[in-house]
Amino acid sequence: MSFLPTSIRRRHWLAAAAGAALTTLPGLGQAQAAWPSRNIRIIVAYPPGGVSDNISRALADKLSAQLGTPVVVENRAGAGGSIGMDAVAKAAPDGYTLGFSSISPLALNPHLGKLAYDPAKDIAPVASVMYSPVVLLATPAFQGKDFKDVVAQSKAKPGSVRWSTSGLATVGHIMLEQIQHTAGIELTHVPYKGAGQQLTDALSGQFELISTNLSAALVQHIKSGKLRPLAVGAPARVEVMAQVPTLAELGFAAANMTSLFGIFAAAATPAPVLQRLNAEINKALALPDMRERLLAADNVPTGGSQADFAKQIAQESASNAKIIKAANIKLD
């Protein structure tokens, strides 16, 4: 039993109640110590069954084990990843809704049309997860030996080399425009709506070049000789075809692009939660079985700080803005 006067006891109770209320506000240390206390959801901005979906589920399993709470995956595909990222941008900023996507919805899509979210204000980059190399291959229709022959033939006969991509304003299309600009050549762009029919037509020689993300299926076509790699977009040569130079090595640094993927959150998510997530993602990516799974799917694990990831996105966004304006790239 307390022997404090009633007025003092009342003040003590009010102070304690106020302190308890403050700990529930986002951003305060006591509140973040309890995170996570319930399921975490990762919104994947692509359809089920693809490489990005498979990798995100593997990462979710690792994070669930590390954080001691279920991490579930939800697919929200469409609009080049923008639908999924819009859901992340509009989610409660509490660290319980994350997004897994390439950086295109932040660094490419905003330059092609109005979005329902502001990438700079509504979404926080949490951690880089992987990059998928973009490979440029010759089909049976191309008679040249290497990338130098692509440039030489395009200079001799402008437009005679047809370059297929998976669509307008995709990473492959931006690469094509960068190469045209740097080399002063003219290539004929053949855009597809997706990679399935594009690969089928490449194998039958419907065009001379194809740019697409590296995959196990593609490697088999390379090994059989049906497709010949001329260059790769990646920070370094790819182990599975170490003889193939990067576009940077060939003098096209601006075109040396990859598909970079990562984890994102709503912009107002408290910094302590974002820092914890970044640390846990880096921990998961360092696990040998996780690295092996990524490499087996011809993706390269990345990781790193939030600041570095944000810087990469900003740099690619600025580069994309310039080339899209210069080439007058517009979606249908």
Q: Give 72-130 pLDDT, tens digit per residue.
A: 999 999 888 999 999 999 999 999 999 999 999 999 999 998 999 999 999 999 999 99
CATH code: domain 38-131+259-327 is 3.40.190.150
Q: How far apart are CA 153 and CA 160, in angstroms?
A: 7
Q: How far apart are CA 185 and CA 182, in angstroms?
A: 8
Per the model's pLDDT, the better-predicted residue between 7 and 150 turns out to be 150
What is the structure's pLDDT at 107? 95
Choose among 268, 256, 65: nearest CA to 178.
Answer: 256
5-10: average pLDDT? 40
Work out the pLDDT band at 232, boundaries 50, 70, 90.
very high
What is the structure's pLDDT at 217? 86
Q: Answer yes or no: are the C-beta atoms of 315 and 76 closer than 8 Å.
A: no
Domain ranges of the chain: 38-131+259-327, 133-255
User: Can you name the CATH fold of 133-255?
Assistant: D-Maltodextrin-Binding Protein; domain 2 (3.40.190)
Per the model's pLDDT, the better-predicted residue between 215 and 274 turns out to be 274
Any residues with CB less than 8 A from the CB of 139 and at least 6 apart, and which? 202, 203, 205, 206, 207, 208, 209, 210, 227
7, pLDDT greater than 50: no
Work out the pLDDT band at 33, boundaries 50, 70, 90.
low
What is the structure's pLDDT at 282? 98
Choose among 274, 256, 258, 270: nearest CA to 310.
Answer: 274
Beta pairing, strands 258-266 & 97-102? antiparallel
**Do 133-255 and 38-131+259-327 fall under one CATH topology?**
yes
3-state secondary structure of 213: strand
Any residues with CB less than 8 A from the CB of 83 and at least 6 apart, and which? 45, 76, 77
The two three-digit tokens of residue 314, written as one number:
């900003």
Q: How far apart are CA 210 and CA 195, in angstroms?
A: 10
Q: What letter would DSSP give residue 111?
A: G
197, pLDDT greater than 60: yes
